[in-house]
């Protein structure tokens, strides 16, 4: 039963874990990957679950953690060398399927997109990469930018779902931009990009396929101003004047007012027309953004939309600090890739629980709603999941009726330890855009007064 305080039931937690790590589906994955054919002592389902759960524990080496959780689950004991030998292509293939099933489950959930974003696209996706350093033995397969081995995970994160919906892996030496292709599958979506993906060709692809984009203005780009819609203009200017010239001459003042202009980019024979927005920063500087959003989205709204791009940076931190994505010490490609995908599944489980809690909350009205209880935070929730990982693994093996009270205890535990400690002082950009506002703090005297009983007369 879901309480108003938690908005998270044991049934929801059970659904997520059983959708991502269901025994029957995992056995089908194992059979297709031919992972259990050569060893009678291997419990492949327990091993796959142990890999996901061990990703967030961080007690020691990643493979050692997998072994600890795997043997604690009651699986037959084998020598360490034999156990490590299981981390081959068959296990990698099985983990590819587990991650794909997690993304399939996520894609089927309802979206929770802030109204200001839903007006312009059915969802916004953020694209970015994270780099993972590897043992030097893997340099030939995954060369880094220097004399070290490293790979990149290129991730596509859905704002409406709050989790990753696609990914690819490449050597760290590859440029990020090679792994983002805007095609017809993006139609109706929005994309938030950092400067690593900024190119005129990509912006033309967005226009061609009906994709909304927001990105920072690149320093070496020279936009030509065609018309100024908002901003302090001190003199007339010719359409097509360089933005830098207008700013240097004081024709367009940066005096703390918002700037909104139509500009063109690229060669004169094939100009790309888009919208340029300038928003003053905290220290008197300006932040400039390029977008094809209509002017129904004000300049500050455009800036807020770009701030949402930080969600993927938080997801990268979740992968590394909680799911220990950058602590993989395996020395073979299949083992590294299997452990990497296990980390991503572990992070997705935390994100999916947070998303399901949001879906269960009362929606803010147009005037906003006061949030009385702390929301879940993916990173604090992931740490709580790590602390109760063995209990989750044991509950997955229980009969359905016996598991019901255990899942509720797990849900209560996750809410207690996984709530955002900074929800009052630093609400997320997305929470603000959704219309939530934190309940006002009571003074210390008021809190004391509410706990002191009046004297009997």
Other Cβ atoms closer than 10 A to 272: 18
Residue 362 and residue 405 in one domain: yes
- pLDDT of 286 above 60: yes
310 within domain boundaries: no
**Cβ burial 295-334 (10 Å sphere, 16+ → b, else e):** eebbbebbbbbbbbbebbebbbebbbebbbbbbbebebbb
Confidence (pLDDT) at 444: 53
Q: What is the pLDDT of residues 123-164, one digit of tens each?
A: 999 999 999 999 999 999 999 989 999 999 999 999 999 999
- pLDDT of 11 above 80: yes
- pLDDT of 354 above 90: yes
317 within domain boundaries: no
Residue 247 and residue 337 in one domain: no
- pLDDT of 54 above 50: yes
Number of compact structural domains in the chain: 2
Give residue 74's domain range.
Answer: 10-109+330-434
- pLDDT of 96 above 70: yes
Q: What is the pLDDT of residues 418-428, one digit of tens each?
A: 998 888 777 88
Q: What is the pLDDT of residues 180-237, one digit of tens each?
A: 999 999 999 999 999 999 999 999 999 999 999 999 998 889 999 999 999 888 887 7
135 within domain boundaries: no
Spatial distance between the Cα atoms of 264 and 55, rounded to a whole number of angstroms: 48
User: Mean pLDDT throughout 338-350?
Assistant: 95
309 within domain boundaries: no
Place 40 in a pLDDT band, splitting at 50, 70 and 90.
Answer: low
- In 48-194, DSSP assigns E strands to 123-134, 149-158, 163-171, 189-193
Residue 349 and residue 428 in one domain: yes
User: Mean pLDDT throughout 45-57?
Assistant: 89
Confidence (pLDDT) at 4: 45
- pLDDT of 403 above 60: yes
Confidence (pLDDT) at 35: 85
Angle (CA) 180 186 187, round 5°: 150
| DSSP secondary structure, 353-389, as one string | HHHHHHHHSPPP-TT-EEE-SPPB-HHHHHHHHHHTH
Residue 287 and residue 345 in one domain: no
Q: What is the pLDDT of residues 222-243, one digit of tens each?
A: 999 999 999 888 887 788 899 9
Q: What is the pLDDT of residues 303-316, one digit of tens each?
A: 999 999 999 999 99
Q: What is the pLDDT of residues 57-82, one digit of tens each?
A: 876 568 888 988 888 888 888 888 88
β-sheet bridge partners, residue 262: 227, 275
β-sheet bridge partners, residue 225: 241, 263
Residue 264 and residue 359 in one domain: no
Residue 102 and residue 19 in one domain: yes
Q: Which two tokens stand for residue 209?
A: 């396929």
User: Mean pLDDT throughout 430-438?
Assistant: 81
- pLDDT of 442 above 70: no
Confidence (pLDDT) at 367: 57
| Spatial CA neighbour of 280 closest among 312, 251, 253 | 253
Contacts of 28 (CB under 8 A, 6+ apart): none
DSSP state of 2: -
Percent of the chain residues topping a pLDDT of 70:
91
Spatial distance between the Cα atoms of 141 and 163, rounded to a whole number of angstroms: 28
353 within domain boundaries: yes
359 within domain boundaries: yes
Confidence (pLDDT) at 436: 78
Residue 263 and residue 334 in one domain: no
Spatial distance between the Cα atoms of 433 and 430, rounded to a whole number of angstroms: 5
Q: Tell me the whole-structure pTM to 2 decimals.
A: 0.90
Residue 356 and residue 417 in one domain: yes
Confidence (pLDDT) at 457: 46
190 within domain boundaries: no
Helical segments of 249-285, H only: none
Confidence (pLDDT) at 75: 84
Residue 263 and residue 342 in one domain: no
| Spatial CA neighbour of 309 closest among 449, 117, 438 | 117
202 within domain boundaries: no
Confidence (pLDDT) at 22: 87
Place 383 in a pLDDT band, splitting at 50, 70 and 90.
Answer: very high
Give SS3 for 203.
helix
Confidence (pLDDT) at 3: 47
Q: Which two tokens stand for residue 189?
A: 């979506």
Spatial distance between the Cα atoms of 383 and 388, rounded to a whole number of angstroms: 9
Residue 273 and residue 368 in one domain: no
User: Mean pLDDT throughout 27-44?
Assistant: 80
Residue 226 and residue 283 in one domain: yes
């Amino acid at each position: 039963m879901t309480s108003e305080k938690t908005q998270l039931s044991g049934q929801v937690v059970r659904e997520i874990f059983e959708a991502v790590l269901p025994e029957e589906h995992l056995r089908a994955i194992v059979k297709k990957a031919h992972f259990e054919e050569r060893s009678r002592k291997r419990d492949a389902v327990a091993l796959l679950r142990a890999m996901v759960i061990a990703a967030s524990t961080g007690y020691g080496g990643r493979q050692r953690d997998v072994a600890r959780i795997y043997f604690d689950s009651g699986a037959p004991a084998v020598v360490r060398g034999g156990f490590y030998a299981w981390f081959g292509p068959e296990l990698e293939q099985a983990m590819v399927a587990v991650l794909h099933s997690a993304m399939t489950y996520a894609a089927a959930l309802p979206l929770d997109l802030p109204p200001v974003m839903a007006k312009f696209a059915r969802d916004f996706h953020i694209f970015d990469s994270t780099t993972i350093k590897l043992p030097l033995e893997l340099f030939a397969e995954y060369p880094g930018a220097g004399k070290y081995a490293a790979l990149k995970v290129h991730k596509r994160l859905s704002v409406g779902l709050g989790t990753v919906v696609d990914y690819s892996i490449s050597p760290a030496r590859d440029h990020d931009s090679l792994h983002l292709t805007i095609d017809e599958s993006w139609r109706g979506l929005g994309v938030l990009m950092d400067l690593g993906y900024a190119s005129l060709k990509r912006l033309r692809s967005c226009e061609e396929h009906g994709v909304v984009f927001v990105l920072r203005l690149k320093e070496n780009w020279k936009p030509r101003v065609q018309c100024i819609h908002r901003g302090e203009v001190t003199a007339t200017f010719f359409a097509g004047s360089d933005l830098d010239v207008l700013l240097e001459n004081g024709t367009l003042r940066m005096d703390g007012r918002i700037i909104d202009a139509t500009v063109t980019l690229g060669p004169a024979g094939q100009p790309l027309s888009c919208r340029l927005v300038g928003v003053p920063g905290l220290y008197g500087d300006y932040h400039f953004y390029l977008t094809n959003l209509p002017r129904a989205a004000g300049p500050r709204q455009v800036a807020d939309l770009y701030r949402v791009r930080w969600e993927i940076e938080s997801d990268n931190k979740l992968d590394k600090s909680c799911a220990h994505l950058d602590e993989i010490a395996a020395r073979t490609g299949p083992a590294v890739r299997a452990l990497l995908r296990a980390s991503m599944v572990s992070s997705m489980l935390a994100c999916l629980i947070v998303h399901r809690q949001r879906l269960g909350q009362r929606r803010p009205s147009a005037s906003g709603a006061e949030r009385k209880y702390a929301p879940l935070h993916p990173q604090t929730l992931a740490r709580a999941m790590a602390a109760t990982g063995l209990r989750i693994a044991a509950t997955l093996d229980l009969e359905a009726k016996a598991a019901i009270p255990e899942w509720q205890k797990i849900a209560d535990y996750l809410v207690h330890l996984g709530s955002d400690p900074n929800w009052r002082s630093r609400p997320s950009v997305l929470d603000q855009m959704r219309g939530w506002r934190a309940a006002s703090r009571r003074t210390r005297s008021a809190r004391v007064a509410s706990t002191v009983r009046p004297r009997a007369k």
